[in-house]
Structure 1
Amino acid sequence: MKIKNSLKALVKRHRDNRVVRRRGRLYVINKTNRRFKARQG
């Protein structure tokens, strides 16, 4: 999992990427291609 200041560029890398808020943190998750994972905060 990558930890980044900005998730905007990572979301655009794959069409199935989603930004999700969990416990005050922002996550990028992808159900179809699980290698696209990132966290902010």
Structure 2
Amino acid sequence: MGVKSKNATLKKPQMSLKERRAEKRARVAEVQSAVYRRKRDRA
């Protein structure tokens, strides 16, 4: 998964910095929500 996303960003270097930052933030939020969900299920 991580490798695939890395390849995608390499394929389109013309992507603006703002778009890249937004994509990174979305990915981080996705991971954080997944971790939070796992913690809540365990508790």
TM-score, normalization: structure 1? 0.29
Specify which structure has the higher proportion of helix.
2
Q: TM-score, normalised by structure 2?
A: 0.28
The higher-RCO structure (CA 8 Å, 6+ apart) is 1
* Greater Rg over alpha carbons, structure: 2
* Larger strand proportion of the pair: 1
